[in-house]
């Protein structure tokens, strides 16, 4: 890759390495300079620019990131569209993330342009949570480095999710003279809450004396009921392999696989098995709802991740969970919100009168399909959800054209007063948890789901990409994605003003995503334009 300053006249086709903001020019780094861009820069009296030019052995950043992400992604994980040299891997299910740390390190050691960051192995993750991100240090990576990373990542799944599956749990609680029933009930409630959080449940509880013979009899009776997991809550802590709980397990025909763990709290956990059923002797800290070593074992078992002695002994790094004076109450503090795939709602403006067309263009058939149905079908294929369609003019006919589609409708009786009224009706129907809103026109016949996904992938308000616009050869098109922070401002627009009015007011937050074709510019406002679109863009 060649990098450095060049005269503007020689910069066409190069990648802008340093952003330019002067006068009416606001070009961000990473922009591939077109002929129109060169003319704009000349008009702004820009003489030289710092650019990067890729060589034959360079893999462009987005392609490199996507290739490595595809190789690294395993079961129950999904990828974002590559943009700005980054592809993210997200969880498709709630469960434990499985990461091969050694191979992650190996990939990061290949070349400084290739970086892979992940969560810690076996971290509990929610659906849509980010598991890993592949970032190519701008603006390309050597082909050999990308190929080597793919080979390492593909050996076995590098980043995957083990989803939680419902388990039936048998609980044996032992008692000593003087113990109150209320204590047993409290202990059971705490364990039940843990199980419920993982989609499992306690199917039965047995209480017996805290001695070897009684525990053995209780274990034998419990195994007959075939629980997926067997938990034994001793009235007093297990302090030796010959103590009552482990001795009772062995007497019942079970085995002790490991006693103790390098996690605090949780040191006195017993890992055993009877027949094919895992049997866990609980440490005393399991009475507390705060996280301890037992949680780590229970999570793995509920996700069908085997737990062997070597897994227990490997838990020491990061296993200091105990509250200490220099780290007060860490388990009581709210954890930072995990990074998730952005939730982007789509608002489709379909209430207008199509005055220049002479008929409702949204109901006109494009290759046999009403244009509004074609537009909505494309949006539904993307990551945008939910889809809110704003109706007004010919509302019943528009709804009929979308019958069977997974959309909701927002009626705008004031549609004749201008676009702003439809925009407000759609925004009012946005879900409260949406991070952003994609403002779509009902007549976007040539926009594809891939275009929308590229916009969503580029959307990142914390990195300055709060308004994301598609562009083709220097011209901006539709749809446009806005962060939720701009909804209030859009709700105050009046007349026939749409959301695009915000672009000039918030130029610093606007990020253009270059697209491969002119579909984002297609406008079917007149019969001639409609005919041209039908001829150019095939189904």
pLDDT, one tens digit per residue, over 204-236 is 999 999 999 999 999 999 999 999 999 999 998
Percent of the chain topping pLDDT 70: 96
CATH number, domain with residue 420 = 3.90.550.10
Tracing tokens 């893999």 back to the chain, one arrives at: 59
Are both 152 and 225 inside the same structural domain? no
Q: List residues bridging with 468 in a β-sheet.
A: 481, 511
- The pLDDT assigned to 399 comes to 95
Burial 377-386 (b: 16+ CB within 10 A, else e): ebbbebbbeb
pLDDT at 345 over 60: yes
Contacts of 433 (CB under 8 A, 6+ apart): 343
Are both 39 and 137 inside the same structural domain? no
Q: How many angstroms separate the CA atoms of 95 and 338, rounded?
A: 14
Please identify, among 117, 144, 163, the residue that sits at the C-terminal boundary of a domain: 163
Structure tokens at 268: 């006195």
Q: How many angstroms separate the CA atoms of 480 and 382, rounded?
A: 14
Are both 73 and 98 inside the same structural domain? yes
Domain assignment present for residue 349? The answer is yes
Residue spans of beta strands (DSSP E) within 200-336: 201-209, 229-233, 255-259, 270-274, 277-281
Tally of CB atoms within 10 A around 117: 12
Domain assignment present for residue 205? The answer is yes
Which H or E element spans position 223?
A: helix 212-224
| 3-state secondary structure at position 424 | helix
Residue spans of beta strands (DSSP E) within 428-491: 436-441, 467-472, 475-476, 480-483
Instruction: Find which of 36-45, 104-113, 395-404 is predicted with most confidence, using mean pLDDT.
Output: 104-113
Structure tokens at 172: 């044996």
Q: How many angstroms separate the CA atoms of 78 and 91, rounded?
A: 6
Are both 192 and 317 inside the same structural domain? yes
Domain assignment present for residue 317? The answer is yes
Note the pLDDT tens digit of each residue in 438-451.
999 998 888 999 99
Which among 56, 64, 75 is positioned nearest to 110, based on CA atoms?
64
CATH number, domain with residue 134 = 3.90.1170.30
pLDDT at 426 over 70: yes
Tally of CB atoms within 10 A around 307: 19
3-state SS, one letter per residue, for 156-218: CCCEEEEECCCCEEEEEEEECCCCCHHHHHHHHHHHHHHHHHCCCEEEEEEEEECCHHHHHHH
To the question of pTM greater than 0.75 for the whole model, the response is yes
Averaged over 103-125, what is the pLDDT? 97
- The pLDDT assigned to 355 comes to 63
| 3-state secondary structure at position 377 | helix
- The answer to whether residues 453 and 383 touch, using CB atoms and an 8 Å cutoff, is yes
- The pLDDT assigned to 331 comes to 46
Please identify, among 101, 136, 163, the residue that sits at the C-terminal boundary of a domain: 163
pLDDT at 354 over 90: no
Helix (H) and strand (E) counts in the chain: 16, 30
- The answer to whether residues 398 and 350 touch, using CB atoms and an 8 Å cutoff, is yes
Are both 42 and 64 inside the same structural domain? no
Are both 139 and 286 inside the same structural domain? no
Averaged over 174-181, what is the pLDDT? 89
- The answer to whether residues 108 and 158 touch, using CB atoms and an 8 Å cutoff, is no
Q: Starting at the edge strand that comes first in sequence, how are the strands of the sheet with 130-136 ordered?
A: 77-79, 86-91, 130-136, 114-118
Averaged over 335-344, what is the pLDDT? 81
Are both 131 and 228 inside the same structural domain? no
Q: How many angstroms separate the CA atoms of 184 and 205, rounded?
A: 10
Q: How many angstroms separate the CA atoms of 385 and 431, rounded?
A: 10
Please identify, among 53, 68, 95, the residue that sits at the C-terminal boundary of a domain: 53
Select the more confidently predicted residue: 473 or 376.
376
- The answer to whether residues 173 and 139 touch, using CB atoms and an 8 Å cutoff, is no
Work out the pLDDT band at 181, boundaries 50, 70, 90.
confident
Q: How many angstroms separate the CA atoms of 270 and 312, rounded?
A: 10
Rg (CA), the chain: 30
Structure tokens at 252: 């019942």
Which range is least confidently modeled, 154-158, 167-171, 465-469, 519-523?
A: 519-523
pLDDT at 329 over 90: no
Note the pLDDT tens digit of each residue in 311-324.
999 999 999 997 65
Which range is least confidently modeled, 76-85, 111-120, 240-249, 525-534?
A: 525-534
Note the pLDDT tens digit of each residue in 81-101.
999 999 999 999 999 999 999
480-483 and 436-441 strand pairing: antiparallel
**What's the domain count of the chain?**
4
- The pLDDT assigned to 465 comes to 92
Q: What angle do CA 314, 117, 334 make, to 5 degrees?
A: 75
- The pLDDT assigned to 322 comes to 75
Tally of CB atoms within 10 A around 169: 24
Sign of CA dihedral 231, 235, 240, 246: negative
Residue 61 phi/psi, 5-degree rounding, is -55, -45
Select the more confidently predicted residue: 446 or 328.
446
Q: Give the C-alpha distances (Å, rounded to integers) separating 323 from 290, 292, 333.
A: 11, 11, 11
Provide the residue range defining the domain that includes 244: 168-322
Give the single-character DSSP code of 240: S
- The pLDDT assigned to 334 comes to 45
- The pLDDT assigned to 333 comes to 40
- The pLDDT assigned to 428 comes to 96
Tell the burial category of 340 from Cβ atoms under 10 Å away from its Cβ (0-12, 13-18, 19+). middle
Note the pLDDT tens digit of each residue in 510-523.
999 999 888 899 87
Average pLDDT over the chain reads: 92
Domain assignment present for residue 132? The answer is yes
Domain assignment present for residue 451? The answer is yes
């Amino acid at each position: 890759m060649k990098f450095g300053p060049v005269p503007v006249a020689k910069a066409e086709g190069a990648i802008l390495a340093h952003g330019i903001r002067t006068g009416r020019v606001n070009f961000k780094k990473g922009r591939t300079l077109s002929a129109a861009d060169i003319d704009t820069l000349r008009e702004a009296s820009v003489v030289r620019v710092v650019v990067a030019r890729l060589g034959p052995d360079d893999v462009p950043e987005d392609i490199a990131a996507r290739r490595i992400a595809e190789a690294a992604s395993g079961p129950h994980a999904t990828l974002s569209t590559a943009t700005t040299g980054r592809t993210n891997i997200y969880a498709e299910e709630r469960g434990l993330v499985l990461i091969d740390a050694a191979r992650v390190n190996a990939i990061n050691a290949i070349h400084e342009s290739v970086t892979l960051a992940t969560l810690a192995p076996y971290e509990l993750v929610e659906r849509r949570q980010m598991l890993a991100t592949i970032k190519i240090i701008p603006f390309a990576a050597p082909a050999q480095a990308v190929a080597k990373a793919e080979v390492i990542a593909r050996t076995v799944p590098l980043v995957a999710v083990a989803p939680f599956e419902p388990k039936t749990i048998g609980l044996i609680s032992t008692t000593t003279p003087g113990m109150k029933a209320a204590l047993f009930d409290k202990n059971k409630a705490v364990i039940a809450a843990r199980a419920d959080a993982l989609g499992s449940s306690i199917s039965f509880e047995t209480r017996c004396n805290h001695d070897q013979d009684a525990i053995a009899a209780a274990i034998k009776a419990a195994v007959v009921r075939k629980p997926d997991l067997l938990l034994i809550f001793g009235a007093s802590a297990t302090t030796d392999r010959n103590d009552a709980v482990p001795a009772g397990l062995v007497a019942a025909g079970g085995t002790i696989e490991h006693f103790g763990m390098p996690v605090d709290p949780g040191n006195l956990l017993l890992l055993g098995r009877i027949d094919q059923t895992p049997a866990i002797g609980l440490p005393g800290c399991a009475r507390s709802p705060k996280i301890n070593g037992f949680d780590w074992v229970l999570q793995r078992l509920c996700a069908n991740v085997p737990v062997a002695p070597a897994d227990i002994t490997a838990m020491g790094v990061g296993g200091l969970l105990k509250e200490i004076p220099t780290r007060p109450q860490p388990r009581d503090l709210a954890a930072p919100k995990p990074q998730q795939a952005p939730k982007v709602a789509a608002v489709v403006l379909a209430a207008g009168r199509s005055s220049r067309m002479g008929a409702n263009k949204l109901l006109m058939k494009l290759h046999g399909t009403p244009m509004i149905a074609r537009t909505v079908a494309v949006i539904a294929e993307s990551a945008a959800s939910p889809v809110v369609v704003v109706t007004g003019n010919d509302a019943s006919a528009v709804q009929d054209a979308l019958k069977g589609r997974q959309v909701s409708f927002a009626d705008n009786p004031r549609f004749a007063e201008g676009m702003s009224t439809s925009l407000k009706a759609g925004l009012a129907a946005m879900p409260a948890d949406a991070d952003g809103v994609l403002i779509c026109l009902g007549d976007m016949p040539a926009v594809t789901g891939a275009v929308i996904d590229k916009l969503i992938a580029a959307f990142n308000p914390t990195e300055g990409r709060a308004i994301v616009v598609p562009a083709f050869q220097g011209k901006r098109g539709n749809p446009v994605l806005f962060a939720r922070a701009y909804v209030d401002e859009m709700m105050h627009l009046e007349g026939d003003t749409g959301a695009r009015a915000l672009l000039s007011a918030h130029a610093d937050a606007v990020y253009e995503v270059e697209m491969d074709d002119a579909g984002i510019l297609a406008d079917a406002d007149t019969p001639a334009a409609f005919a041209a679109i039908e001829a150019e863009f095939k189904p």
